[in-house]
Structure formats: C-alpha cells, structure tokens
Amino acid sequence: MEKKDILTKSLAIAGTVLVWVPTLAPALFSATSLIQARMFRFDYLMPAELFPVALVGGVLLLWAALRARARRGIIGRSLGSAVVLPVVGQVIASVTGLASGRTEPTGWQWALVLAFLALYVLALVILGIGGVLLLRDLFKTARR
C-alpha cells in the first residue's frame, strides 16, 4: 500500500530542494556576479563540491519514493549514477595524473574527466526531475 502521508511529502519536498541546490547554485551565483560586478563568472565545479548536499537529497528522495511506491526507478538509477560518476571521474583523474598535477589539465584526459563531471550534473538534473514528478504524484488529488 502506498503512503502519501505528511512524512512522505516532507521527505520528497526536502529531497527535491536539496538535489536542485548543487545544480542551480552556480547559475544563481553567476547571475548575481553578472549583475553586481558586471563580470560573468561560472564555477562549473560547484555541483561536485556540493555532492554531500545532493547525496542527502537523493537519499531523502529515494526514501520518499520507496514509501510512496512511485518513481523508484528513475530516482534509484539517477541517484546511483550521481554517486558512481564522480568516483569514476576521480579515479580517472588519479590514474592519468591530473589529480596530482603530474599531467597538465589539457588533452583527452582533461576532456574525459570533464565528461564524467557533465554526466554527473546530468544525473543530478534527472534526479531532480524525478523528485518533481514524485511531488506531482504525491500532491495529485483523487478524481471522482
């Protein structure tokens, strides 16, 4: 039996907000910098730096999805991807020497690490969309 109680809704709301923070924060800070200093600055590493926030949000979303028995697939797979992809990117950076500074951040090694970072951000976006869809399911009123 699916649970759509206040706990499940609270978990879904908190999880969705926390998952979107690492994705939207760089854009928000860039817009603020552009307005205040008239200079465009974009920190493309911020989603990776805010990984713990996204992880907590993803776990809350997964808990809510399991309680509601809805959107478990998209939330589970994207959360798993959001955990694995940065780890693989870091392993590649370590193996190729980018992490230690032995290799300059150019060439195919740098492109490969950035590709894993981009895939991580994509996984976060998909997780956030799953959270929004879960919220829509939880707050949908029954039609009679």
Evaluate whether residue 1 is within a structural domain: no
pLDDT, residue 100, reads 87
Asked whether residue 49 is assigned to any structural domain, the reply reads: yes
The counts of H helices and E strands in the chain are 5, 0
> Based on the structure, what is the number of domains in the chain?
1
The per-residue pLDDT for range 116-125, each reduced to its tens digit, is 999 999 999 9
Q: Is position 60 within any domain?
A: yes
Report if residue 13 sits inside a domain: yes
Tokens of residue 46, six digits: 């911020």
Arithmetic mean of pLDDT over the chain: 92
In which domain, by residue range, is 133 found? Answer: 6-139
Q: What is the dihedral of CA 113, 114, 118, 124, to 10 degrees?
A: 60
| pLDDT given for residue 142 in this prediction | 54
Q: Is residue 133 part of a domain?
A: yes
Q: What is the pLDDT of residue 143?
A: 57
Mean pLDDT confidence for 4-12: 92
Kindly state whether residue 54 falls inside one of the protein's structural domains.
yes
